[in-house]
Chain A
């Protein structure tokens, strides 16, 4: 995808791996199942970031990542809710119906790749990936992951 030139191949590769893992874990391949998987993976990434960086730190990174990824993936404008600071499964499903599964999947991959890219330049790719892709118990953020 031409717009993904904004992200480095390494970041895109990591993002695709993260998204693919969530999709495979979901098992089903219906639109609803893919929407749930995409919502889960993005929520987890945002929650991880919010936990480590704080709400405002996460917001600052997301704003910049969105600005970069939106150019090639306009669907992201509708996906990300500024009010809740998260992506909701209902929205993902609606956008999938309006666009396609592939387009929305690519959009979320691009957003995560942009986050990894930005963070990589600040704290290194290894640390960025570890922060975004960590799977750890999170009681205080449990509600967001439901």
Chain B
């Protein structure tokens, strides 16, 4: 006995980068979708982006404007988006204005007008903007009752589905208005909002419900640019298992450092290089990149504290020509300095670049810059943001070097309280110590997960040709205090 065949729901890809991932694949064909949110949240832009991505002269879209933004203004502003293809107007996308019907006629007349136009054009898509302003008046000129509104919504949904139309109702709704009948009838509810915190505003998207699909839960940030809307799906749902660690070690490019790390940084590890200001963190990171490039390993550098030009200018002393490597597509320097980024947005940029050039080494310079670049709303959850960022990056198998600025006044054991140490496999700490009346730079390997490593302090120097780790520092005690005392024993050579 064969089981009955189930109806397969066709998919409508939205054409909005990142949105189909959040929706669980896309929108269901012939569905009634409510796009809700406050004024200026991007409802019209989202809808038109979907329509222009899908509408053709054979499968046209009808865009009904009601009250609110006058059509002429909407066309004026929406034309500025790259997705707005004028060649599609009016054969593929037609604009109608229902303001007269919505203000002077009853709901039945509004419905009849929509149905008449749908019948004539046989569209594949219909949008009504703003649906919330449709109230209708009865024959006596009084506003229609909620029951009449419910009936109207039901009839509209029925008619549009019968005509095999995928429809979009756009409305400026807020949470308490969820009792509006359209919320019950809608197959999907896509909610746009904005979080304002101090000087930062972060746009957020939520798929409240999507019948027939399994959307990603939670809030997802999005941006409106000249190209329209771009959604950045939250990271955890994209997270994959971290690849099994190999035995391979990556050379750091810093003379004298690899022996302290038992040969180098284990491939796929996250190494944090922590030190006070001026200790040479970026110099170490630059040498790590140069070493990778000389080993034919493409690298990505995400700079937060300086412009890429500055970074590249400082890298001119490296044995590899970074500018030439960029031209060859083996090095990418990403500038991520804006102060209103979401961690997902940052991650997408870095991940896309890693994928594009096939990078195996990633430098994030620095964590403090990363934190500052985040919108305040994400800084509150900095640990979570960093965890998600590092988790998603390590899942790709890249080896990551993070630089972190730490306070020199902090006493020994500082990492037990550090907010970021938990995401790292390996930690190298740089510090200043006062010896013989001058500041000396020393470093130590604080931890290497699952690997042996040097446990003593080594001096290092920054010269015009880069950083080099010197001999082991012996004959002193209390190095972690910053002012070590000679033990009186003869210093041992490194």
Q: Within 8 Å CB of B117, what residues of A?
A: 139-140
Contact segment of B91-99, B151-159, B447-455, B482-490: B91-99
Q: Within 8 Å CB of A134, what residues of B?
A: 90, 94
Do A131 and B89 touch (CB < 8 A)?
Answer: yes
A41 to B182, CA, bound (A): 40
The residues in B between 83 and 128 inclusive whose CB is less than 8 angstroms from any CB of A are: 86, 89-91, 94-100, 113, 116-117, 119-121
Check B150 for interface membership: any CB of A closer than 8 A.
no
Q: Within 8 Å CB of A51, what residues of B?
A: 95-97
The residues in A between 130 and 145 inclusive whose CB is less than 8 angstroms from any CB of B are: 130-131, 134, 136-140
Out of B71, B79, B91, B94, which one reaches A53, CB within 8 Å?
A: B71
Check A57 for interface membership: any CB of B closer than 8 A.
yes
Contact segment of A1-9, A31-39, A119-127: A119-127
| Minimum C-beta distance from A27 to chain B (A) | 27
Check B1 for interface membership: any CB of A closer than 8 A.
no
Do A53 and B120 touch (CB < 8 A)?
Answer: no
Q: Within 8 Å CB of B91, what residues of A?
A: 136
Do A122 and B100 touch (CB < 8 A)?
Answer: no
Do A122 and B120 touch (CB < 8 A)?
Answer: no
Q: Within 8 Å CB of B76, what residues of A?
A: 122-123
Check B263 for interface membership: any CB of A closer than 8 A.
no
Q: Within 8 Å CB of A119, what residues of B?
A: 72
A140 to B89, CA, bound (A): 19
Give how many A residues have a beta carbon under 8 Å from the other chain's beta carbons: 23
Out of A127, A131, A138, which one reaches B120, CB within 8 Å?
A: A138
Known interface pairs A123-B79, A130-B89, A134-B90; A139-B120 also in contact (CB < 8 Å): yes
Q: Within 8 Å CB of B71, what residues of A?
A: 52-54, 57
Check A10 for interface membership: any CB of B closer than 8 A.
no
Give how many B residues have a beta carbon under 8 Å from the other chain's beta carbons: 25
Out of B79, B95, B99, B120, which one reaches A56, CB within 8 Å?
A: B99
Do A57 and B89 touch (CB < 8 A)?
Answer: no
A57 to B116, CA, bound (A): 22
Check B224 for interface membership: any CB of A closer than 8 A.
no
Check B478 for interface membership: any CB of A closer than 8 A.
no
Nearest CB in chain B to that of A124: its residue: B79
| Minimum C-beta distance from B112 to chain A (A) | 9
Residue numbers of A with Cβ under 8 A of B are 50-57, 61, 119, 122-124, 126-127, 130-131, 134, 136-140
A-B contact pairs, 26 of them (CB 8 A): A50-B97, A51-B95, A51-B96, A52-B71, A53-B70, A53-B72, A54-B70, A54-B71, A54-B99, A55-B97, A55-B99, A55-B100, A57-B70, A57-B99, A123-B76, A126-B86, A127-B75, A130-B86, A130-B89, A134-B90, A134-B94, A136-B121, A137-B121, A139-B119, A140-B117, A140-B120
What 5 A-B pairs have minimum CB-CB distances, sorted nearest first? A54-B97, A54-B99, A137-B120, A139-B120, A134-B90
Known: A57-B72, A131-B90, A137-B120. 16 other contacts (CB 8 A): A52-B97, A53-B71, A53-B72, A53-B97, A54-B65, A54-B97, A56-B100, A57-B99, A122-B76, A123-B79, A126-B86, A131-B89, A134-B90, A136-B91, A136-B121, A139-B120
